[in-house]
Amino acid sequence: MTPKKHSTRKPSKTLGKAATGIQGFDEITSGGLPRGRPTLVSGGAGSGKTLFALEFLVRGAAQYNEPGVFVSFEESVQDLTKNAASLGFDLDRLVADKKLFLDHVYVQRSEIEETGEYDLDGLFSRLDDAVQRVEARRVVLDTIEALFAELPNPGILRAEIRRLFAWLKQRGLTAVITAERDRPDMLTRHGLEEFVSDCVILLDHRIREEISTRRLRIVKYRGSTHGTNEYPFLIDEDGISVLPISSLGLDHAAPVDRISSGIARLDSMLSGKGFYRGSSILVSGTSGTGKTSVAAHFTDAACRRGERCMYFAFEESPRQIIRNMRSIGIDLEPWVSKGLLRFQAARPTYGGIEQHLAVTHKCISRFQPSVVVVDPVTNLTVVGTQHEVRSMLTRLVDFLKTRQISAMFTSLTAGGGPLEASEAAVSSLMDTWLLLESIQVGGERNRTLHVLKSRGMEHSNQIREFMLTNDGVRLADVYIGPEGVLTGSARLSQEGRERAADTVRRQELEHHRRELERKRQTFEARMAMLRAEFEAEEDKIRNSISESELLDEELLQDRGLMVRSRKADPPADRKERRARAGRVR
């Protein structure tokens, strides 16, 4: 039994890992199971051990060119093949292609008599033969513990199982050994974990409040980093999907392009362009405030742009949503038939929160939408605590963001409760939060909408009245004044009052203008009169001045004549005369 070199695949340089191909599992273990070493997969009855092991083999054989041997201690080969077929694995074909070898080890206690020392060389021989037949790189022993019930002398058996694991390791076979776990304080019923020191995985299937959840935890993984959390996983027609979302960092891209909300006025409240692509939008409000209508607009807008939209409905059936939205003028039916819109409707109680998350993932991965609507997200609290819902939403939001999918979550707030506080659990995850409220004034309820927050953009702080009309959602300004926020008919009557007051004010203004004009005219008339008086006066004065000058001249001439006649000193006299003449001129 010397180890043979199987040159099927180059082992990686660092710590060798064998990819399982199980969706999500390779991510949380950063590569898969330890290559060439045994891994213990433990769990209670029905926790998915056999399937995990089977998928590890099938994917290994089909995707990684690593043939495998499945040694079943419980199920017969026929049963195994049948069970695998229900999960989409064609074991017969793999067996025919010599990529898989199935062996059913069956020991009937009643036909065994122990007569002395024994060992498990029979099993070793069978295993060795099987490994050689398909040049196996992977081995599954499911569940070797069954031997404890069938073979006597547990002491020998334990020693032999230890030898078997060592043998597997020596042969460089990547092995999965399943084990039953029946007590919470022990990993396996027979303490197999002490033989397998490299990697131990625990599967758990628990029921809480009638809802089942499957979880996977890596108890230890020697020589490798691994997520230590409990990861929810799902078993469906594609096998196992582990949800490794919490391993994602906060490093998603932040697109700058915008997408319309489908409501023009709402877009303008969001600095005129709508939401960021890839952002998460929370629409919260009490029942009947129009959350689904906002979501329908968003959906409709996405489909109009020719983008795919996935609508997760937890409250209404798709038919019902389509019918109801038609009443506000949004026809989603054509988008469904064009394949742009897909509904995924299920009651929240249909599965645990992880199941929902897994289904959501799967749907999104298959449909590749650019817009996702979850309506309403709060219904999930039925199947999980607030903490779980928050954790699920974190994972979902992260997942959507990495794919740059814009998502709208509607959230039902219990009537009467504080609107913001109750949402605190999820609101911090959201980029944009639209709050829909129902305001009761004057014997009627009216809807309002405001943008509570919108990261990374200027947004309106105002409350808008939110009306559902035959042509969809319409937003109107609300009256905000000393009497508070008014909506509906109260707003209409207030607007009427305002219009009347406005008219009065306008009339007063006109009156003032006219008065001013009149005053100006009076003033100008007076001015003209004064000017006329002044001009008359001026004439008079001028006349008298020129008259007196004339008189002066004549006087001088007379005096000159006198001087000349008296022969007086001429120069002084001449000077005086000149000065006088200048003044007159």
Partner 1 sequence: MPATRTKTRARRRKQEPEVWRLRLYVAGQTPKSIRAFANLKALCEEHLKDRYRIEVIDLLERPQLARGDQIVAIPTLVRQLPPPVRKIIGDLSNTVRVLVGLDLRPADRPGSGRPA
User: Which range of residues in 113-121, 181-189, 192-200, 320-328 is near partner 1 by CB under 8 A?
Assistant: 113-121
CA angle 313/316/322 to nearest 5° reads: 90
Q: Please write down the HEC assignment for all residues of 225-248.
A: CCCCCEEEEEEECCEEEECCHHHC
Largest CA distance in the chain: 190
Angle between helices 570-584 and 488-566 (to 10 degrees): 160
Tell me the three state secondary structure of residue 440.
strand
User: Which range of residues in 106-114, 342-350, 431-439, 500-508 is near partner 1 by CB under 8 A?
Assistant: 106-114
- The number of residues that bind partner 1 (CB under 8 A) is 25
Least spacing, CB of residue 100 vs partner 1, in Å: 15
For position 111 contacting partner 1 by CB under 8 A, the verdict is yes
For position 218 contacting partner 1 by CB under 8 A, the verdict is no
For position 154 contacting partner 1 by CB under 8 A, the verdict is no
For position 155 contacting partner 1 by CB under 8 A, the verdict is no
For position 524 contacting partner 1 by CB under 8 A, the verdict is no
Angle between helices 49-63 and 77-85 (to 10 degrees): 80
Least spacing, CB of residue 20 vs partner 1, in Å: 27
Least spacing, CB of residue 72 vs partner 1, in Å: 12
Instruction: Check: CB of residue 353 under 8 Å from CB of residue 214.
Output: no
Q: Closer CB to partner 1, residue 67 or residue 376?
A: 67
- Region of 260 on the Ramachandran plot (φ > 0 left; ψ -120 to 50 alpha; else beta): beta
Closest CA to 6 of 69, 54, 59: 69
Contact with partner 1 (CB under 8 A): which of 5, 14, 113, 572? 113
Contact with partner 1 (CB under 8 A): which of 40, 41, 147, 161? 147
User: Which range of residues in 107-115, 183-191, 220-228, 476-484 is near partner 1 by CB under 8 A?
Assistant: 107-115
Please give the Cα distance from 142 to 49 (Å, whole number).
8
Instruction: Check: CB of residue 244 under 8 Å from CB of residue 453.
Output: no
Q: DSSP alpha helices (H): ranges in 368-408? A: 386-402
Please give the Cα distance from 88 to 83 (Å, whole number).
9
Structural element, H or E, at residue 38? strand 38-43
Q: Closer CB to partner 1, residue 126 or residue 474?
A: 126
For position 22 contacting partner 1 by CB under 8 A, the verdict is no
For position 149 contacting partner 1 by CB under 8 A, the verdict is no
Task: Looking at residues 117 to 136 of the shown chain, list those that interact with partner 1 (rule: CB under 8 A).
Answer: 117-126, 128-129
For position 549 contacting partner 1 by CB under 8 A, the verdict is no
Please give the Cα distance from 483 to 121 (Å, whole number).
92
Contact with partner 1 (CB under 8 A): which of 57, 105, 408, 430? 105
For position 77 contacting partner 1 by CB under 8 A, the verdict is no
Q: Closer CB to partner 1, residue 113 or residue 182?
A: 113
Angle between helices 154-170 and 121-134 (to 10 degrees): 20
For position 392 contacting partner 1 by CB under 8 A, the verdict is no
Q: Closer CB to partner 1, residue 141 or residue 358?
A: 141
Residues that bind partner 1 (CB under 8 A): 103, 105-107, 111-126, 128-129, 147, 151-152
